[in-house]
Amino acid sequence: MPILEFEKTKTLLKKYNIPFCETEIFNSSVKALNFAKQIGFPVVLKIHSSKIFHKSEVKGVKLGINNEQEFVKAWNELAKIKDIEGILVQKTAEGVEMVIGMKKDDQFGPVLMFGLGGIFVEVLKDVAFRVGPLNTSEALAMIKEIKGFKLLQGYRNQKGVNINQLAKTIVQVSHLAEKEKNILAIDFNPVIGNPKSVLVVDFRIVV
Amino acid sequence: MFSKVNKLSRIFNPRNIAVIGATDRPNSVGLGILNNLNANLGNRKVFYVNPFQKQVLGQDCFSKITVIKEEVDLAIIAIPADKVLGAVRECIKKKVSGIIVISSNFGEAGEEGKVLEKQIQKALQNSEVSLIGPNCLGIINTANNLNASFAPLMPKRGNVALLSQSGAMIDSILDRATGENFGFSKIISYGNELNLGLNDFLEFLRNDKETNIIAVYLEAIKDGSRFLKIAKTLSKIKPIIVIKAGRGEAGQKAALTHTGSLSTDYQIYKAVFKQAGVIQVDSIDELLDTVKVLSFCPRCQNGLGILTNGGGLGVLAVDFCEEFGIKMPALTRTTIQTLKQESVLRGCNLTKNPLDILGDALSSRYEAALQSLLIQPDIYGALVLQGVQIVTEPMQNARAIVRVSRHFPNKPVVCCFAGGKLTKEAIEFLEENKIPNYTDPKRAVLAFRNLIIK
């Protein structure tokens, strides 16, 4: 099962109005640094490789890079990792980590998944499923179904997530899944949300 | 093109029936079917087809179905699997409306059986004949006393349609439901779904006047997208209750994505049922509890008034209401005033829902309190709890509840007379009068939850 290429994925997300974190892929540190300055620090660097599925396991992610010196140091460390095809420069997104996924089921067609990111999805499996295509109210019901919904509304000092924007994103993913017949599975993990925006930060689309 | 659904109405109301594999061999499925058919013939004729016997049960046999001169609407085939294809071809020649293949040893048994199924499918392709099964128990239509199955008993007539992939599940449910005050409209054992399947039966039941509730046992759905589409609209007019067996999570581990590894088949089914408005239950007990409440009571909005003669039962009920998202509206000033005007309720705390009418409550208290609760507009139904204390009069209470509930035909009353020997007679009276009773508050609250229109 091949993974859809980086640029094609971005084109597809734009086509379906699925907002994603500003990201570019580079092979040269000079161009990469220019891009970082353009989008503004702090930025994130991540390795790009079709062979490595779990970037963090090979220490392929550097968060919170605040200036040029930190950037160069991080770049040099990442460049040493085997099998990489480039390095991603990404604007830092702040907020609640979530997951939006899709799998094409033989019987029911596109099945959408939504949950909170990190341990919520991996350990607690606090996720909700729906068969697509979804409308906004179905997406909202899906969001409200998870046990961690309170965290999306804001909890203690942590800010919440723009729920309407989130529902819209889920609806758009369901449309993408419905219309793009060659797409078998989608993992948007994490999707980061705050009161202003909901952005896809990491994506993997299986074709 | 012909409509499979139209064919079904002929299959459930056949004028003439042929049994291919008719036999009087003791303890055989074939004999079981004959006995069930013959128990209530009405105006129907049953022809016996068996090339190896001249007579069965004193009636002449035909060597094959095509020899029968009269029209045959329904053919029931109960012969070894390898002979079924030939019999199906004969039925097509005879232009029957429908065939039920009881025989097993098809797709469920292995590759050879799957080949047989494909051959039968091919034979049916250019015909107007519909087929139920194979590997099934048959069908029952209580409206015309048709028992075209080898079920061990004929169920009471009622408004529940029961569909099942497993025949044995039907037998157990029918036996369990024997003493109940609800009954069945149609029983459909649909087996391997070679031709007619769950979706076709659901479509058929949409316009079946006898059926108000649909109960389904299933392991897997063929054509899931069509199921979702049908169930979404059907469940709004006729509640659908499903037991889904098979929660296996195997085969998901190698998935490339999180979504892949988390979305097991069972998770997807759960999501589908939720989206379709289908009530999912886990056990036969829960299925029967749900069928009973839906069979007896009108559906309603979320808002429950609780009445109890014991604190403990009330607290338990409230716990489950909170857990299952059931609203318990506060009593309005008008309700409280009405309650206070009732002299029998003097001494009770008349301001709270649940309303505790105390351990020494006689039936007059039950009657006055239930009446006042049900008048309140945002109380859409009532749960009446009764513990058997030394002064309690279960039978009189039951009578009072039946009397009051008759004045509120759109507001369901669910009872929890918690007890055994002392309450048995009262419970029977309640249920004869279509007031469902559950001996445990949790089951009663769950039953009410399933009445709520979402």
Q: Is the CB of B263 inside 8 Å of chain A's CB atoms?
A: yes
**Which residues of chain B are within 8 Å of residue A206 when distances are taken between CB atoms?**
256-257
**Which residues of chain A are within 8 Å of residue B263 when distances are taken between CB atoms?**
101, 103, 105, 111, 113, 129
**Which residues of chain A are within 8 Å of residue B223 when distances are taken between CB atoms?**
107
Q: Where is pLDDT greater, at B258 or B278?
A: B278
Which of B229, B230, B256, B259 should one mutate to test binding to chain A, selecting the residue with the greatest count of A CBs within 10 A? B259
**Which residues of chain B are within 8 Å of residue A113 when distances are taken between CB atoms?**
258-259, 262-263
Q: Is the pLDDT of residue B255 over 60?
A: no
Structure tokens belonging to residue B137: 């128990």
Q: Is the pLDDT of residue B434 over 50?
A: yes
Q: Is the CB of B228 inside 8 Å of chain A's CB atoms?
A: yes
**pLDDT (0 to 100) of residue B245:** 87
**pLDDT (0 to 100) of residue B253:** 47
**pLDDT (0 to 100) of residue B4:** 74
pLDDT digits (tens, 9 = 90+) for A52-61: 777 777 888 9
**pLDDT (0 to 100) of residue A2:** 85
Domain ranges for chain A: 22-91, 96-206
| Region of poorest pLDDT, from A48-52, A176-180, B343-347 | A48-52
Contacts of B213 by beta carbon, 8 Å cutoff, 6+ apart: B159, B160, B161, B238, B239, B241, B291, B294, B295
Computed over every residue of chain B, the mean pLDDT equals 93
Q: Looking at B288-426, which runs of residues are DSSP E strands? A: 304-308, 355-356, 381-387, 413-418
Nearest CA in chain B to A204: B257
Give the residue-averaged pLDDT of B418-438: 96
Do A37 and A24 meet the contact criterion of CB atoms below 8 Å apart? Answer: no
Structure tokens belonging to residue B409: 């035909």
Q: Is the pLDDT of residue B251 over 50?
A: no
What is the percent of chain B where pLDDT is above 70? 96
B260: pLDDT confidence band, cut at 50, 70 and 90? Answer: low
Q: Is the pLDDT of residue B256 over 70?
A: no
Q: Shortest Cα distance from A102 to chain B (angstroms)? A: 6
Which of B257, B264, B270, B272 should one mutate to test binding to chain A, selecting the residue with the greatest count of A CBs within 10 A? B257
Residues B303, B182, B393, CA angle at the centre, nearest 5°? Answer: 65
Structure tokens belonging to residue A109: 């067609």
pLDDT digits (tens, 9 = 90+) for A127-173: 999 999 999 999 999 999 999 999 999 888 889 999 999 999 999 99
pLDDT digits (tens, 9 = 90+) for B214-241: 999 998 898 999 999 999 999 999 999 9
CA A155 – CA B114 distance, rounded (Å): 56
Contacts of A47 by beta carbon, 8 Å cutoff, 6+ apart: A55, A58, A60, A61, A78, A81, A84, A86, A87, A88
* DSSP letters for A48-60: E-SS-S-GGGGT-
B1: pLDDT confidence band, cut at 50, 70 and 90? Answer: very low
Q: Where is pLDDT greater, at B329 or B262?
A: B329
Residues B414, B416, B418, CA angle at the centre, nearest 5°? Answer: 170
Nearest to A131 among B220, B256, B275 (CB): B275
Do B100 and B148 meet the contact criterion of CB atoms below 8 Å apart? Answer: yes
CA B224 – CA A173 distance, rounded (Å): 21
What is the percent of chain B where pLDDT is above 90? 87
Q: Is the CB of A155 inside 8 Å of chain B's CB atoms?
A: no
**pLDDT (0 to 100) of residue B85:** 97
**pLDDT (0 to 100) of residue B327:** 97
Which of A53, A108, A111 should one mutate to test binding to chain B, selecting the residue with the greatest count of B CBs within 10 A? A108
B2: pLDDT confidence band, cut at 50, 70 and 90? Answer: low
Nearest CA in chain A to B226: A108
A125: pLDDT confidence band, cut at 50, 70 and 90? Answer: confident
CA A182 – CA A174 distance, rounded (Å): 14
CA B413 – CA B406 distance, rounded (Å): 10
Q: Is the pLDDT of residue B397 over 90?
A: yes
Q: Shortest Cα distance from A78 to chain B (angstroms)? A: 24
Nearest to B257 among A101, A105, A131 (CB): A101
Place of tokens 């779904």: B193
Domains of chain B: 4-135 (3.40.50.720), 158-296 (3.40.50.261), 304-449 (3.40.50.261)
Count CB atoms within 10 A of the CB of residue B85: 15
Q: Is the CB of B224 inside 8 Å of chain A's CB atoms?
A: yes
Of chain A residues 55-94, which have a CB less than 8 A from chain B? none
Q: Options 2.40.110.10, 3.30.1490.20, 3.40.50.620, 3.90.230.10; which CATH number does A22-91 get?
A: 3.30.1490.20
Q: Shortest Cα distance from B230 to chain A (angstroms)? A: 13
- Greatest C-alpha distance within chain A: 53
Residue A88: Cβ-neighbour burial (10 angstroms; 0-12, 13-18, 19+):
buried
**Which residues of chain A are within 8 Å of residue B262 when distances are taken between CB atoms?**
101, 113, 121, 125, 127
pLDDT digits (tens, 9 = 90+) for A75-104: 999 999 888 889 999 999 999 999 999 999
Q: Which of A25, A70, A82 is nearest to A48 (CA)?
A: A25
State which H helix or E strand residue B149 sits in.
strand B146-149
pLDDT digits (tens, 9 = 90+) for B166-200: 999 999 999 999 989 999 999 999 999 999 999 99
Residues B365, B370, B373, CA angle at the centre, nearest 5°? Answer: 125
Nearest to B271 among A53, A102, A129 (CB): A129
Q: Shortest Cα distance from B204 to chain A (angstroms)? A: 22
Complex ipTM over 0.85? no
Nearest to A108 among B224, B255, B274 (CB): B224
B368: pLDDT confidence band, cut at 50, 70 and 90? Answer: very high
Q: Is the CB of A140 inside 8 Å of chain B's CB atoms?
A: no
What Cα–Cα distance (Å) separates residue A45 from each residue in A38, A117, B372? 15, 20, 68
Nearest to A113 among B225, B256, B259 (CB): B259
Count CB atoms within 10 A of the CB of residue A135: 10
**pLDDT (0 to 100) of residue B248:** 66
CA B218 – CA B113 distance, rounded (Å): 21
Q: Is the CB of B351 inside 8 Å of chain A's CB atoms?
A: no
pLDDT digits (tens, 9 = 90+) for B278-304: 999 999 999 999 999 999 999 999 999
Q: Is the pLDDT of residue A74 over 80?
A: yes
Give the residue-averaged pLDDT of B46-64: 96
Question: CATH code for A96-206?
Answer: 3.30.470.20
Q: Is the pLDDT of residue B252 over 50?
A: no
Give the residue-averaged pLDDT of B162-169: 94
Count CB atoms within 10 A of the CB of residue B42: 8
Q: Is the CB of B272 inside 8 Å of chain A's CB atoms?
A: yes
Q: Is the CB of B253 inside 8 Å of chain A's CB atoms?
A: no
**pLDDT (0 to 100) of residue B258:** 62
Q: Is the CB of A131 inside 8 Å of chain B's CB atoms?
A: yes
* DSSP letters for B157-175: EEEEEEEES-HHHHHHHHH
